[in-house]
Amino acid sequence: MTTLTADSTSLSDHARVILFNRIPEVTLTFWVIKILSTTSGETAADYLNTTLGLGLNSTSLVMTGLLIIALVAQFLTKRYTSGIYWTVVVLISIVGTLLTDNLTDNLGVPLWLSSLVFAALLAVTFGIWFAREKTLSIHSVFTRPREAFYWVAILFTFALGTAAGDLLNEALNLGYLLGTVFFAALIGIIVIARFSFKVNAVFCFWAAYILTRPLGASIGDLLSQAPVDGGLGVGRTQVSLVFLLAIVGVATYLGIRTSRQRRDALAEANQSPAVSAQ
């Protein structure tokens, strides 16, 4: 009996991704829950920092501790697990945002400099990742080292998205509604570039991933901020709760769908004359 491995050539590409990839398939549902996670991360951080009065430093310490716990749980899993994965995404969105906020509010680092620094750190991460693994594909995160590079890159995308998004909002004075439209339009351009002009898939993924941060933040602020400040006045508590519940619902759906896909992929492996699953 042959052990089923990520490089089993008898498996289809889709089955290999379902069985071995440690992150979910990148579908429309993926992007929906990513934006939900970013929005809830923005409002939750504001709620803890301002509404509960924890302050920026205490909020940063608490969220970083929770993120470390979630990451340990993620790396202990043998395969993609929806609940754990999206918990990490929500927490890393908060920590990435707080990282930029600490540089700006506590250390006085200008947003343009933070944007350059995080862009450089992200580029270095990609460079080391590619030099070691010979790929940046998110469809082949089959090993712990690749996943480690993935999460470091994710952290820097949130920090960069926060800094660059705030910089653009300040420079253009967009406001929450126009900011939402503006960043949604930029993501739309990336979608057109990918599917109409066949621009590199890896580049388009990471560019869209960065832009979902300021898009989610604009949506969160639009919903939660008071009308006098340009928002709809729903409130941070309500927005955070509704979006977190939505994340739980969508993540549960993704978990059920992935389980079904995993069963189908295992059935395909068992039917293959060249490989048997353990």
Residue 55 within any structural domain of the chain: yes
Distance from C-alpha of 16 to C-alpha of 265, rounded to nearest angstrom:
8
Distance from C-alpha of 179 to C-alpha of 213, rounded to nearest angstrom:
12
pTM: 0.89
pLDDT at 277: 38
Residue 248 within any structural domain of the chain: yes
Q: Among candidates 59, 34, 39, 48, which has minimal Cα distance to 176?
A: 39
Residue 130 belongs to what domain range?
A: 13-18+25-271
Residue 223 within any structural domain of the chain: yes
Distance from C-alpha of 193 to C-alpha of 206, rounded to nearest angstrom:
13
Could you tell me if 137 and 204 are in contact, meaning their C-beta atoms sit under 8 angstroms apart? Answer: no
Residue 264 within any structural domain of the chain: yes
Residue 5 within any structural domain of the chain: no
Residue 2 DSSP symbol: P
* Length reported for the chain: 278
Distance from C-alpha of 59 to C-alpha of 252, rounded to nearest angstrom:
28
pLDDT at 275: 46
Q: Which residues of the chain have pLDDT under 50?
A: 1-2, 9, 274-278
**From the CA atom positions of the chain, what is the Rg in Å?**
20
Distance from C-alpha of 72 to C-alpha of 67, rounded to nearest angstrom:
9
pLDDT at 224: 85
The two tokens of residue 28 are 């429309």
* 244 phi, psi to nearest 5 deg: -65, -40
Residue 4 within any structural domain of the chain: no
Residue 8 within any structural domain of the chain: no
Domains contained in the chain, number: 1
Residue 277 within any structural domain of the chain: no
The two tokens of residue 11 are 């498996």
* CA count, 13 A, side-chain hemisphere, 263: 5
